[in-house]
Amino acid sequence: MPKDQRREQLLDAAMAIVREDGADALSLVTLAVKAGVSRPVTYDHFSTRAGLLVALFQRLEDQYVQALRNALDVAPHELGTTADLMSRAYFNCLADLGPEAPAISAALQGSEEMALQQRAMVGEYIAIMCKALQPFTDMDIASLRLTCIGLLGAAEAIAREQQEGRIPEAAAIAAFSSLIARGVGR
């Protein structure tokens, strides 16, 4: 099997482990067993558990960023619609990814290497938010960036509530959309 296909197979197996047993159960050894490959194969692709977690999170982040960009590409130039599209992209992606995303995100906080990688990925999302929202605000870019950081934190808190079954997805989408529009509106 070509190396890139093997990597995708391993990432699929790793996601299955996280889904079935939680992020704490994920190691290069459990991945080798789940994927039916030898341990050296998993070490060749990821080197460390941290490398595996970063690869998983990057995969999730890439899916989310692509969904967000696709939504924004078709957005009319109106704050409410843009906020709604951003919110829907965020929560639809979480729904598609399931509970694995927060579990992997939490596991990424375990080491400085993983935390740095996660901050870089979150930084990319904040930059996308700023670019999409700048036409609708009088804030300078530094203030808008801080607002987007706060909005992302709010989205993560709302997502936890939704994923734990305390609020329906529609309410989560509406709340985040409202926060975006109110947070940056003129």
Helices first, then strands: H and E counts in the chain? 9, 0
DSSP state letter for 99: T
Q: How far apart are the first and last CA of the chain?
A: 55
Domain segments of the chain as ranges? 1-47, 53-184
Give the residue-averaged pLDDT of 32-61: 91
Question: According to the model, what pLDDT value does residue 100 have?
Answer: 67
With a CB cutoff of 8 Å and minimum separation 6, the contacts of 57 are 104, 105, 108, 114, 117, 118, 121
Residue 95: the pLDDT is 73
Q: How many CB atoms lie within 10 A of CB 85?
A: 21
pLDDT (mean) for 100-125:
75
Q: What is the mean pLDDT of residues 169-176?
A: 97
Give the span between the Cα atoms of 139 and 79, in whole angstroms. Answer: 14
- Looking at residue 19, its pLDDT comes to 85
Mean predicted lDDT score pLDDT of the chain: 89
> What is the tens place of the pLDDT at every residue in 66-111?
888 888 888 888 999 999 999 998 888 777 666 666 677 777 776 7
Dihedrals phi, psi of 155, to nearest 5 degrees: -60, -40
- Average of per-residue pLDDT across 23-29: 91
Residue 24 has pLDDT above 80, yes or no: yes
Whole-prediction pTM:
0.75
Q: Which CATH class is domain 1-47?
A: mainly alpha
The answer to whether 41 and 51 have CB atoms below 8 angstroms apart is no
Note the pLDDT of residue 158. Answer: 96
What count of other Cβ atoms lies within 10 Å of the Cβ of residue 181? 20
What pLDDT, on a 0 to 100 scale, did the predictor assign at position 98?
67
Across 114-140, average pLDDT: 89
Q: Give SS3 for 147.
A: helix
CATH class of 53-184: mainly alpha
**Measured CA angle at 92 (ends 80, 158), to 5 deg:** 75
